[in-house]
Structure 1
């Protein structure tokens, strides 16, 4: 891509599909159909500012694939939001859901604003008006299109969305399922906040558990002692770094939009995050090196690099300088197609976003199921399981003429909480998806994990379209 060409995430995603299709026996018309966006909604809406002036904002919602309904995808608030970006992110959601076997089509939405420039009252106005525009065009609903948080949004905004939707649909018994990532009092689900970051951790843990892959990279098996640099200490980057650190990895650097921090001896992620919240940046953090141009940190030597901020961060301009041995894409689309080819030639293992950040949509799926069933996971069987374990322990004590300690009893008898079940489901999903993708890579004899992931996803999407009778 020449410098004067505008980057298109959507075109990049389509190129990844074309690469995968070369290893598959599919009709060209089916591949072309899979690539295209089903519905693109671009609109403008005014808001009243507190000083009496009006401002016109640009909003988007893209539904990429209807091979399964509802479609699913986050809403982001960013100055960088544009139609090509939203189309690309929606397409990635389609392939991501297919890869991890979550029964959704892909979607994405956004408003072109910098949320830091607006107060809470203004953001509420923007969110409610954006939701109203989606309702008008049937671009939101528990059986149609289910948004979630993304860059610049969170549980607060999802609460405003569900309240607005319920106002327009007071007779809908499943109305709370119109959006996920909601606050717990509004029927959200435990574990959703940290879900994407936890998924990044699980995916990297699985990657470094495969001995022949680690041998090829010159690394030992396991996370213990691995040096990690994380770009972005937002929701995804923070929890990914925290869980990696707890598993024995050493976080030596964190890059943010307003500067990075580096310490070869390792950083305390909880302490660093608290400092950032209090001071607004990492500048002045004790006994560390502050990096003004934090993007330079992408090229620092480390075992694992986790870009967990925005797309288009690793390009053909800096890919040849990357020294990490594993890149774990926590963000959506952080590596361009041209850059990935350079990385693979350098022998770097790139674990793609379409897999690695699927923790969010996986737990969102659990939340949606909870909303439709209107009962918490584990509520029906928890006490039954506890009683069963208690009887079992008493039988063991009688048979062995010994006693469990009170601490042992608490640990064994406790039934699974909703959070336990969510974490269990997330782990199972991420583990199975990683090995299906890695096995496909080895079966096809290809180097790119991303291409393997797309092959797995496209195969599943193609089966859906054939079952719908759209293609023979």
Structure 2
């Protein structure tokens, strides 16, 4: 689908943010140009049979940077997807992986369809044909390019991709590493589905934990008194809201395409989710103030706004109406550069998408490692750790003559499960990366936002990779 004159140039926005940060680095212009450019853009079409006729499908796969191999990025099914969007998302994946120290280059895929308009059989045919086209051009493989779920796709589609790749590559030992976000039965990893939303919650928790930064925008440290509005009740938005509530925040607003609801006393996210599943809408939820225009929901009183839907939701037209002091970008590119400049002048903090929603690719990395090692995390050491801890407890009890209560004994003795190890690795990644970005913000004269600081850090890391590989003199 070609861009129209009215569409936002998403890739240009990413490049604009890149250029704003590049001036704070000392790398040669040619190297910066190489880092910024999309290395490989594959646009193709293929036919599928529908009824008694055929339909031609537009599709893309973009590999932004091969400074690290394989490249990594999701596949989006949307009738709004276009080449510019796929290029922008691939570029963001490159910078995102660098920020959280995941050794992948950035990539992205897109198929221009609305999945709701197709049967399961048709979607399977589309997915398998798309995968076949990628295989033909060497745009997929555990050491080449590793897709993942994105908007409009999930475990089911990743299963079809994995099966198609294995069928066309018989005997390849690491074939399941060609894609992540797979079901557990196909050697996916526990915690992957909720990883992006959990990562958003960790990012927000870490941001608000810095009392010095919160004081500058008139907030107290901690999540306990924070009111949150979440846009989007899909996978990312739902899990962001769920974990933020578990961490002590109050979810006061939810926005979806059919409208928005608000309640200053807060919502139980699972009850709202169940209501929407039953009725097809978040509207009509008991005790909520309703807005038929979902964008009005973003403008209600809150401390933290989490746009977790699509790009270009916060623009110069509405950013001044946003009452939140913190915007945590669960979606890719929800805030335009012009809107960010205005919001920063309003003494607000934006936690940038390239860091905030990096939980998905972080846990995808863990899944990829699991597929290459052919063993689940914790399988080798879980029982050994339990037995060691049990022996330690028994020794302490015999030496002290005091017994430890059963519930405490269970907590101490228990070995870590795969899910616990995954969540631990994700939490450590998000904490370490946030403070790495914040340190750049504080140490680089002229850097004013977390986004610019994140770009500076990622550009420096990618530049070092190019030079170490001998690609750049």
Q: TM-score range by the shorter chain?
A: over 0.9
Separation of aligned partners in 2, 1:6 and 1:30: 30
| TM-score in terms of structure 2 length | 0.98
For residue 205 of structure 2, what is the aligned residue in structure 1?
205
C-alpha separation in 2, matches of 1:198 and 1:103: 21
* Secondary structure of the structure 2 residue equivalent to 1:59: strand
User: Does the 8 A contact of 1:9 with 1:88 survive in 2?
Assistant: yes
Distance in 2 (alpha carbons) for counterparts of 1:83 and 1:309: 19
SS, match of residue 301 in structure 1: coil
User: Is 1:189 matched up with 2:189?
Assistant: yes
2:260–2:296 CA contact under 8 A, matched in 1: no
SS in 2 for 1:62: strand
- 1:416 aligns with 416
Task: State the distance in 2 between where 1:442 and 1:124 align.
Answer: 49
Per-residue deviation, residues 269-314 of structure 1 (Å, max 9, x unmatched) = 0111111111111122111122111012222221000000001111
Are 1:282 and 1:290, in contact at CA under 8 Å, matched by a contact in 2?
no
Q: Distance in 2 between matches of 1:118 and 1:265?
A: 40
Q: What residue is the counterpart of 2:61 in the other structure? A: 61
Describe how 1:240-389 pairs up with structure 2 within 5 A: 240-389=240-389
Q: Which residue of 1 aligns with 2:453?
A: 452
The alignment partner of 1:156 has SS state of helix
Equivalent residue for 1:22? 23
SS of the equivalent of 2:34 reads: helix
CA shift digits 1:253-272 (9 cap, x unpaired): 11011111111110110111
Counterpart of 2:47?
46
Indicate conservation of the 8 Å contact 2:156/2:182, yes or no.
yes
Equivalent residue number for residue 218 of structure 2? 218
Equivalent in the alignment of 2:466? 465
Q: Give the Cα separation in 1 of the matches to 2:392 and 2:124.
A: 53
Q: How far apart in 2 are the matches of 1:458 and 1:348?
A: 25
Query: What is aligned with 1:233?
Result: 233
State how many pairs are aligned: 469
The whole-number CA distance in structure 2 between the counterparts of 1:365 and 1:470 is 25
Aligned counterpart, 1:83? 83
Equivalents in 1 of 2:331, 2:246: separation in Å? 21
Q: Partner of 2:385: helix, strand, or coil? A: helix
Say which SS state the counterpart of residue 146 (structure 1) adopts: strand
Q: Secondary structure at the match of 1:296?
A: helix
Most deviating of 366-375 and 272-281: 272-281
The secondary structure found in structure 1 opposite 2:261 is: strand
1:97·1:106 contact (CA, 8 Å) conserved in 2? yes
The equivalent residue for 1:13 is: 14
* CA distance in structure 2 between the partners assigned to 1:123 and 1:259 by the alignment: 28
Following TM superposition, the consecutive aligned residue runs of length 4 or more in structure 1 with deviations greater than 2 angstroms are: 3-6
> Matched residues in 1 for 2:291 and 2:152: separation?
24
> What is the deviation of 1:444?
1.3
RMSD: 1.0
Deviation string 1:422-459 (CA, Å, 9 cap, x unpaired) is 00100111100000001100111422110000000000
Gap runs ≥5 in structure 1:
none
Aligned to 1:143: 143
Matching residue of 2:160: 160
1:272, 1:282 within 8 Å by CA — same for their partners in 2? yes
> For the residues of structure 2 that align with 1:231 and 1:277, how far apart are their CA atoms?
17
> How many Å apart are 1:5 and its aligned residue?
5.3
Q: CA deviation at 1:6?
A: 3.6
TM-score when normalising by structure 1: 0.98
Question: Hey, what's the Cα distance between the residues in 2 that align with 1:245 and 1:6?
Answer: 36
Deviation of the 1:44 alpha carbon: 0.7
Structure 2 unaligned spans of 5+: none
Find the residue that maps to 1:311 and give its secondary structure. coil
Q: Write the distance in 1 (CA, Å) between the matches of 2:39 and 2:286.
A: 51
